[in-house]
Amino acid sequence: MAALWRRRRRLLGAAGLCRTARALSGKPEYDLLVIGGGSGGLACAKEAAQFGRKVAVLDYVEPSPQGTKWGLGGTCVNVGCIPKKLMHQAALLGSALKDAQHYGWNIAHPVHHNWSEMAQAVQNYVKSLNWGHRIQLQDKKVKYFNVKGSFSDPHTIRGLTKGGKETILTAEKIVIATGGRPKYPIHVAGALEYGITSDDLFWLKESPGKTLVVGASYISLECAGFLTGIGLDTTVMMRSIPLRGFDQQMASLVTEYMESYGTKFLKKCIPTKVEKLESNRLQVTWKNTDSGTEETDSFDTVMWAVGRAPDTKALNLETVGVKTNSETGKIIVDASEATSVPHIYAVGDITEGRPELTPTAIAAGKLLAQRLFGQSSELMDYDNVPTTVFTPLEYGCVGLSEEKAVQCYGSDNIEVYHAYYKPLEFTVAERDATQCYMKMVCLREREQRILGLHFIGPNAGEVIQGFALGIKCGATYPQLMKTIGIHPTCAEEITKLHITKRSGLDATVTGC
């Protein structure tokens, strides 16, 4: 028997031995194995552990093409929401310093921003979150493996460490939550060699200097916004429309404010080449798609923000039959987050048709664990998810855009209430409030159910978060009009919306 077993080991290797042992015992090592230590994966793993299940998390960060790497926690913690919001705050503080003079503060001039100090403080905080996640997993008895996982069979994952050491893990149920990574425009000469992405920006130790941000996504505009806000010469290159998928009237106001704030825009332009000069600066050549003319300029940094791709290449999904969208590469899931293979699930940015947002990934991961190991049958509800774009003048929204509402219900069946307003904070500082605007999209019926709410102004995320509950619960326009506002706030202006677009009347708020 021993000889037979040794022969099997030689023939099958370590991976085959593990699969054979599993087949003989009939029981996988783990109840749940999560591939990906980002927001959704960690939430799912920790929730499953609460039910007394044996859970493991695999997480491995492939360094960016520029060599940037980070710790446990995924995109949001390391190269997304957290460092982005902190650097946005740095830019807001710069604006506050300018306003302060109007409020009687004597500010020494000129005021300079130190990138290295900001970056070090942000990076230190992020590292503390990495450590915190590891401690949480340990406390909840979730086994953490810093390995790169791929499927060997539907219940077996082969993990490789940085040094190439192999680990074989088996699980009854597997959740894929590997998220996405920024795309590079590989058709642009020099893009990969000389450009960076958001994966790199937040970990730069020195200032990026004069920067070209290519793309019109919220990532592009947020990064360009805070770079401008801390005093850097920043240009955004857009091929088409800004903030695709968002309400386009609001998107236009966001970019108008950014232009007035100092960000330059190259509209309807596409890059064709990036070259490194003897001075170490980067010369970018681009083409204007309207005129067909070609132009060049030099920058210290070129950042690509042209979209994100699901991180699935190393997973070996084809081997086990997990279906993906052939165009996007994202994993196809049903309402229960199940893939085409029983017992294999997926949550977060890697899934087709889901919003690429941290809170939805967390909620979906928790609910999945509750369905798998608890008594729950509750599915994730992806309707009316609020979000905010942290541009210099923030844009928050929940529900349908005006375009989507018209598409769904017809223009004759919707009513749009809107207002231009001036935040009280802007008055003494004499700041321009031309783009401070809000609108409420409602069904044009007796109850006038609110379909969407859009707000551009200070603290947009805080404003929208409060109203999101009402809209999630089916709030109507008459109900909102009965809500007493908190005076004096920007949010209270929403409770006073009474001018419709249909009326053609001036929507500028005057007086208290």
**Residue 378 within any structural domain of the chain:** no
With a CB cutoff of 8 Å and minimum separation 6, the contacts of 503 are none
**Residue 506 within any structural domain of the chain:** no
Of 409, 231, 168, 197, give the one whose Cα is nearest residue 306.
197
How many CB atoms are closer than 10 A to CB 340? Answer: 15
| 226 shares its domain with 291 | yes
Burial class (CB in 10 A: 0-12, 13-18, 19+), 273: middle
| 40 shares its domain with 113 | no
**Residue 502 within any structural domain of the chain:** no
pLDDT of 31 over the 70 cut: yes
Query: Domain with 485 in it: what CATH number?
Result: 3.30.390.30
End residue of a domain, out of 306, 328, 363: 306
Domain hosting 204: range is 80-138+184-306
Amino acid 153: pLDDT: 96
Binding-site annotation, residues for NAD(+): 215-222, 307
**Residue 505 within any structural domain of the chain:** no
- For residues 47 and 198, what is the distance between their CA atoms, to the nearest angstrom? 30
Beta-ladder partners of 196: 303
**Residue 69 within any structural domain of the chain:** no
Amino acid 27: pLDDT: 85
Q: How many domains does the chain have?
A: 3
| 17 shares its domain with 161 | yes
What percentage of the chain carries pLDDT values higher than 90?
93
Amino acid 52: pLDDT: 97
| 330 shares its domain with 469 | no
| 224 shares its domain with 243 | yes
Amino acid 13: pLDDT: 45
Q: pTM of whole model > 0.85?
A: yes
Query: Domain with 198 in it: what CATH number?
Result: 3.50.50.60
| 294 shares its domain with 341 | no
End residue of a domain, out of 322, 339, 373: 373
| 215 shares its domain with 270 | yes
| 447 shares its domain with 403 | yes
Q: Which of 109, 112, 187, 487 is catalytic?
A: 487
| 470 shares its domain with 455 | yes
pLDDT of 15 over the 80 cut: no
The model's pLDDT over 265-317, given as tens digits with 9 standing for 90+, comes to: 999 999 999 999 999 999 999 999 999 999 999 999 999 999 999 999 999 99
Amino acid 136: pLDDT: 97
Binding-site annotation, residues: 85, 149, 215-222, 307, 349
- The DSSP secondary-structure symbol of 421 reads -
Average model confidence (pLDDT) across the chain: 94
**Residue 38 within any structural domain of the chain:** yes
Amino acid 214: pLDDT: 98
| 343 shares its domain with 212 | no
The yes-or-no answer on residue 487 being catalytic is yes
Q: Tell me the one-letter amino acid at 7.
A: R
With a CB cutoff of 8 Å and minimum separation 6, the contacts of 461 are 388, 390, 394, 396
| 172 shares its domain with 49 | yes
Least confident of 24-33, 182-191, 432-441: 24-33
- The DSSP secondary-structure symbol of 241 reads -
Q: Tell me the one-letter amino acid at 353.
A: G
| 365 shares its domain with 427 | no
Of 238, 239, 243, 235, give the one whose Cα is nearest residue 259.
235
End residue of a domain, out of 322, 344, 373: 373
pLDDT of 512 over the 60 cut: yes
